[in-house]
Amino acid sequence: MKKGIMYLTILVFGSVVWGTAYADVLLIAHKSVPEKVLSEKEVRQIFMRKKMKWADNSVIKPAVLEDTEIHDAFLEQHVGRSRSKWRAYWKKMVFTGRGLPPKTFESQKELVRYVAETPGAVGYINSRTSHKNVTVISVK
């Protein structure tokens, strides 16, 4: 019985630790991007395309992942919206002529490559994903 409780405890806490680790979102940008630190509000505005220029007036090119756990974690932590609210927001924007959604990638590897190769690009990945040739953005 005691062993059973121990295994159950390990399983539950292990899941929590695993879940937390997986949801550890890292913001990355092209090396030329002038800002290395962004506020929570700026991150939200960038991905909702309300802020479209960096400090040097170059164009911000946000990149997002398709519906995945890391995408949900990013939306929850940095945009303050659920996946359904995010979708509803972009339907409003595209069907009223007010904006085009961020470029969407199937995999984190593709997103990292795009951010590394595209001046002005910004995106997010799981912190355990390899992210060479990009700048890590701190969120204050």
Partner 1 sequence: MKKIFCWVLMMLNVGTNVHAFDPDQIQIHGFVSQGYLISDNNDYMLTKTEDGSFQFNEMGINFATQLTDEIRVGLQFLSRDLGEIGNNEVELDWALADYHFRDWLGLQVGKMKAKYGFHNQSRDIDAARTWILLPMGIYNETLRDLTASMTGVGIYGSLPGGLTYQFQAGSLEVDKDSGVARMLEGFGAEVVSMESESDNFTVGLEWETPLDGLRIGVTRTALRLSYEAVFPGMSAPMENDVEGDKTVASLEYMYENFTLDSEYRLLDNNLGGSDNTAESYFAGIRYRFSDWFEAGTYYCVFYCNKDDRDGKGFEAMGLPRELGWCKDIALSVRFDINNNWVFKLEGHHMDGLNGVVRYDPADPDTRWLLFAAKMTFSF
Cα(97)–Cα(25) distance, integer angstroms = 31
Binding region for partner 1 (CB under 8 A) out of 6-14, 30-38, 90-98, 132-140: 90-98
Residue number with CB closer to partner 1 (8 or 88): 88
How many residues of this chain interact with partner 1, rule: CB under 8 A?
31
Residue in 82, 107, 128, 136 binding partner 1, rule: CB under 8 A: 82
Kindly state whether residue 102 participates in binding partner 1, applying the rule CB under 8 A. yes
Residue in 22, 23, 68, 81 binding partner 1, rule: CB under 8 A: 81
Cα(49)–Cα(90) distance, integer angstroms = 10
Residue in 5, 37, 84, 130 binding partner 1, rule: CB under 8 A: 84
Least gap, CB of 109 to partner 1 (angstroms): 19
Find where tokens 């937390």 sit.
20
Least gap, CB of 86 to partner 1 (angstroms): 11
Residue number with CB closer to partner 1 (13 or 66): 66
Residues at the site binding partner 1, with contacts judged by CB under 8 A: 41, 45, 50-53, 57, 59, 67, 80-85, 87-89, 91-92, 94-104
